[in-house]
Amino acid sequence: MNKLILIVVILLLIPLIAMEFTTEVNWNLFDFLASGALFFGTGQIIIFGIRKIKNIKYRILFCVFVLIFFLLFYVELAVGILR
């Protein structure tokens, strides 16, 4: 769990640093909280699935499904492509 928190913090540092160099990235506190929760939740779901699913093919399928769902949800929050 500590590694997951470290990974989430590193991922959230990317837009934080980008905000210092460009005006194209304009995140507020809610954006960081939502992204952090989404990253952490996705990581936890994948870790849970890897621990519970024994068959390697099903593990890979589960992880791909979770990551596709994550990407669709993240892009919808970012730009609203499904509206």
Q: What's the pLDDT tens digit per position in 36-60? A: 999 999 999 999 999 999 999 999 9
What does pTM read for this prediction? 0.85
Give the domain ranges of the chain.
2-79
Rounded to 5 degrees, φ, ψ at 22 are -145, 155
In percent, the amount of the chain with pLDDT more than 70 equals 96
Grade residue 77 by pLDDT with cuts at 50, 70 and 90: confident
CA 25/CA 30 separation, integer angstroms: 14
34 and 44 Cβ atoms separated by less than 8 Å:
no
What tokens does 24 get? Answer: 């194209």
Can you tell me which residue has the tokens 């989430």? 8
